[in-house]
Chain A
Amino acid sequence: MNRLTSIAAPLALLLVLLAVWEGSVWLFDVPHYILPAPTRIAVAFVSHFSSLLGHAAVTLAEIVLGLLIGGLGGFALAVAVFYSPILERALYPLIIASQMIPVFAIAPLLIVWMGYGLWPKATVAALIAFFPIVVNASDGLRAPNEETVELLRSLGASRWQLFWKLRLPASLPTVFAGLKVAVTLSVVGATIGEWVGARRGLGYLMLQSNALLRVDLVFAAILMLSGLGLLLFGGLRIIERRVLHWRGVE
């Protein structure tokens, strides 16, 4: 498939779906507070753009902070577990069990502990984001084969050097794979955090608009949130291509 069709195909599908949506809303005379037509959403999006942008900035800050904490924390945990079998046996069941706890359940607690600001949302995002990082970083740290480890050891490499020159760079491809999953999860995480208690942010906007039966604004916020997710994902891909430059050269 060439470049043009790879862009044109999903776009065409989207247009068809939107047309069906629009047509159905008019045809069946669906009230806008149940399901607004795409054109109505577009109008809401444009007319509330600056407000949407302001809320998006707040959510973006929460996501980025959450990703940073979840990413660094997850990676550090993977390294600790890698080097300490005792820690691995102690922590792994806990880490996996922690993933069974619905974030919805702890988000209100975080609000109680941390207040209404940026931190509880960033924490929810971090809690969701850290798991794929831990799993992927653990795999990556184990990626180098025994021969390569022995080669470095035969050259006199210290444990520290084995980490910096071998395990860390070897783990980056899977760490980036984990980060890509984490980005999408942390968008959800930050939104959940905002639903539970916030004064700003796209999640807050959705909740408010919903209460006011401004479903078109709910959709506009969702649109903005998707855009934000795509933007983050795209940014990550660019960083990935830079860092993992060597993988794309074949």
Chain B
Amino acid sequence: MSGTAIEVRDVAKSFEDVRVLAPLSFAIEWGAWSTILGPSGCGKTTLLRILAGLLEPDEGEVFIGADGRDVATAYLPQRDTLLPWRTALDNAILASEIEGSSLREARAEARTLFDHFGLSGFEFAYPSQLSGGMRQRLALIRTFLAHRELLLLDEPLGALDPLTRATLQDWLLDVWGELHKTILLVTHDVEEGLLLSDRILVMSARPATIVHEQPVGLPRPRGRASAELAEGKGSLLGLLLEGR
């Protein structure tokens, strides 16, 4: 697939008298990894919820589709949403269960992803028995197993230590490369954006607009210590501080 995956046209949203999203517009390409950077509380989660169809914008339009048809998205909320009474494997296959598709197939597929994400052996553990990084991986697996073309990830690596975070970033890149998904990632980590994505969008503070868009032209895999990354990081941080 090619062309536009998401188009947001003059979308605005307020909560009571707080204007969160000023009319803002942007578009995202199929197959690309796009990242939204923005200061805390600027409305990133609100934007993703609108894109996931969970919230109606006050104004403007959202188009999500391919070749004129609508496509559904897979949304990974910012907060931990694993169901504590389900084993890891049963959490992973939640989407298939809700759709009513074959659980046997879903389980088989989940197991290969468990291997891939270093979770094998924990299929029958409960979320409370997993570490923070493992829970995050499980949440990602669950998102992948929803079999949606478009993944909306809200700070999926937010609360992790640097080492786990770096490992998961590499994993995410691998999986993205293999599964050919379109990803819209929300983060406030500039380096993460530069390391992973094809395109970076910068949001301002409330009321938020897109103040900057830039492609990331660096070839993959990108070194975390490379000079280009450091340079890009400096200029993006400057933009974020300005938009605050």
Contacts and interface: CB of A to CB of B under 8 A. Distances in A.
A117 interface: no
Contacts of A249: 125-126, 128-129
Interface string A188-216: 00000000000000000000000000000
A157 interface: yes
Interface string A161-179: 1000110011010000000
Nearest to A161: B98
Contacts of B126: 246, 249
B53 A154 contact: yes
B77 A151 contact: yes
B161 interface: no
A154 B74 contact: yes
B99 interface: yes
Given A150-B49, A165-B97, A249-B128, A145 B73 contact: no
Given A161-B98, A249-B129, A169 B85 contact: yes
Contacts of B72: 156
Nearest to B54: A150
Interface residues of B, number: 27
B32 interface: no
A166 B98 CA distance: 11
A150 B50 CA distance: 11
A172 B83 CA distance: 13
B94 interface: yes
B98 A155 contact: yes
Contacts of A147: 77-79, 81
Interface in B68-96: 72-79, 81, 83-86, 94-95
A250 B75 contact: no
Given A155-B95, A165-B98, A145 B79 contact: yes
A154 B98 contact: no
B51 to A, nearest CB: 10
B52 interface: yes
Chain A contact-residue range equals: 20 to 34
Interface string B130-162: 000000000000000010000000000000000
Nearest to B87: A246
Contacts of B128: 246-247, 249-250
A153 interface: yes
A99 interface: no
A147 B95 CA distance: 16
Interface string A226-250: 0000000000000000001011011
Contact of A148 (B73, B74, B83): B83
A159 to B, nearest CB: 12
A148 B81 CA distance: 5
A156 B70 CA distance: 14
A25 interface: no
B76 to A, nearest CB: 8
A246 B87 CA distance: 8
A244 to B, nearest CB: 8
Nearest to B45: A147
A152 to B, nearest CB: 7
Given A157-B98, A246-B85, A246-B86, 8 more contacts: A147-B77, A148-B77, A150-B49, A165-B97, A170-B85, A244-B85, A246-B126, A247-B84
23 contacts: A147-B78, A147-B81, A150-B49, A150-B77, A151-B76, A151-B77, A152-B94, A153-B54, A154-B73, A155-B94, A155-B95, A155-B146, A156-B72, A165-B97, A166-B83, A170-B85, A172-B85, A246-B85, A246-B126, A247-B84, A247-B128, A249-B125, A249-B128
Interface of B: 49, 52-54, 72-79, 81, 83-86, 94-95, 97-99, 125-126, 128-129, 146
Interface of A: 145, 147-148, 150-157, 161, 165-166, 169-170, 172, 244, 246-247, 249-250
